[in-house]
Amino acid sequence: MSGLIGKKIGMTSIYDASGKNIPCTVIEAGPCVVTQIRTLEKDGYEAIQLAFDDKSEKRTTKALKQHFAKAKTTPKRILKEFTRFEERKSFGDVLTVDVFIEGEYIDVSGISKGKGFQGVVKRHGFAGVGDQTHGQHNRLRAPGSLGASSYPSRVFKGMRMAGHMGSNKVKIINLKVLKLIPEKNIVIVNGSVPGPSGSYLILERWK
Amino acid sequence: MNRSEVMHFVKSTMTQKKDFPPFKAGDTIRVSYKIIEGNKERIQHFQGVVLQRKGSYTTETFTIRKMSGNIGVERIMPISSPFIEEITVMKRGVVRRARIFYLRALKGKKAKIKEKKF
């Protein structure tokens, strides 16, 4: 596996060689610094920790300052562990978009846009109750019945109801890398990725 | 670089911005665009009134309407489409709106747009 931490910049569309207009997402990915290496002997699992996006020294706790100083880097906003990294990386290494190749497929995960408290029609795709007319009154988007009566005399666990929607961790798999611009740390992928512009993303490639 | 600067950089490097004469809603233009049939390529023209221009920079599109007999035909085209060869402005129209959808409801003499005098 190979990966990077990135930031969603926004969406646009580009034309491919045959003239097709392709929707794409622009992601600023890396440079990521290896700030820690987890080993089987010491931690019980193997992983590397990557850090991305500068933040001010003033906003960093002393403990974290030391952590970054050890890797000889400036304080970063995001720390994320990547397991089963295909190449062996050493402490303080800097990873850039070169870890990916144009044309290959990667997985992108992030936190989806929050939708707030939503009803069952939007949240679970219920059809609502019946018609707007014919005596129907005030329950157009209601969930309807929650179950049977004296047996089981209760509502089953996991019954789909209204509630908080969005802000979930979502992974989109197999997005094609359309273009890499190494000098600006830009990855352009086909299609959309979770979350609003400016949110952090995890880019991974599994072989 | 902030986000909008990055987006501008990507748009300007990934898509070629073409040089077309300026036109706006109410103008009559002729769009010459490539059509690929099998492996043959030919140019077709579409002449009509511009209803609107929408979007910005390389992702801008425009809507163009013509009357084919008595049936209105509209096409929405991306302005940086590689298939568009040429845009010729035939007439400059005088309209007071940027989006002249009211034209769809008009017929005959009422659907005529006053031409700009220079």
SS3 letters across chain A: CEEEEEEEEEEEEEECCCCCEEEEEEEEECCEEEEEEECHHHHCCCEEEEEEEECCHHHCCHHHHHHHHHCCCCCEEEEEEEECCCCCCCCCCEECHHHCCCCCEEEEEEECCCCEEECHHHHHCCCCCCCCCCCCCCCCCCCCCCCCCCCCCCCCCCCCCCEEECCCEEEEEEEEEEEEEHHHCEEEEECCCCCCCCCEEEEEECC
Contact A12 B11 (CB under 8 A): yes
Measured over the CA atoms of residue B72, residue B78, residue B83 and residue B85, the dihedral's sign is positive
**Contact call for B10 and A181, based on CB within 8 A:** yes
Reported as a pLDDT band with limits 50, 70 and 90, residue A172 is: very high
Q: How many residues does chain B have?
A: 118
The C-alpha atoms of residue B80 and residue B62 are separated, in whole angstroms, by: 11
A164 vs A129, A170, A171, B29, CA distance in Å? 21, 15, 19, 51
| Separation between Cα atoms, residue A31 and residue A4, nearest integer Å | 8
- The answer to whether the Cβ–Cβ distance between A15 and B59 falls below 8 Å is no
Residue of A30, A170, A25 whose CA lies nearest to A99: A30
- Residue A92 banded pLDDT, cuts 50, 70, 90: confident
| Least confident interval from A132-141, B33-42, B70-79 | A132-141
Give dist(CA B32, CA B41) in Å, integer. 13
Give residue A202's Cα distance to chain centre: 6
Q: Give the model's pLDDT for residue B16.
A: 82
ipTM value, please give it: 0.81
- The percentage of residues in chain B with a pLDDT greater than 70, rounded to a whole number, is 100
Give A128's pLDDT tier (boundaries 50, 70, 90).
confident
A78: nearest Cα among A110, A109, A55: A55
Report chain A's mean pLDDT, rounded to a whole number: 90
pLDDT in tens, A28-62: 997 899 988 888 899 898 888 999 988 888 889 99
Residues in A touching B14 (Cβ below 8 Å) = 12, 14, 179, 188
Q: Please identify among residues 28-67 of chain A the ones whose CB lies closer than 8 Å to any CB of chain B.
A: 28
Residues in A closer than 8 angstroms to B54, CB to CB, are: none
Segments in chain B forming alpha helices (H) = 3-14
Q: What residues does each domain of chain A span?
A: 2-115+168-205, 116-146+156-166
Residue A202 has pLDDT above 90, yes or no: yes
Distance CA B100, CA B78 (A): 18
Q: How confident is the model at residue A8 (pLDDT cuts 50, 70, 90)?
A: very high
Residue B52 to residue B12: CA distance in whole angstroms = 23
Higher-confidence residue: A110 or A134?
A: A110
CB B67 within 8 A of CB B78: no
Hey, what CATH class is A2-115+168-205 in?
mainly beta
For residues A156 and A147, the answer to whether their CB atoms sit within 8 Å is: yes
CB within 8 Å of A199: residues ≥ 6 apart:
A7, A8, A110, A111
Q: Residue B117: is its pLDDT beyond 90? A: no
pTM given for the model: 0.85
Per-residue pLDDT for A162 more than 90?
Answer: yes
In this predicted structure, the answer to whether residue B26 has a pLDDT above a threshold of 80 is yes
Taking residues B7-17, report their average pLDDT.
87
Cβ atoms of A110 and A8 closer than 8 Å:
yes
**pLDDT band at A134, cuts 50/70/90?**
confident
Q: Is B20 on the interface with A (CB under 8 A)?
A: no
Q: What is the mean pLDDT of residues A186-198?
A: 94
**CA nearest neighbour of A25 among A175, A205, A202:** A175
Q: State which residue of chain B sits closest to A181, comparing Cα positions.
A: B10
Q: Which A positions 66-95 lie with beta carbon below 8 A of chain B?
A: none
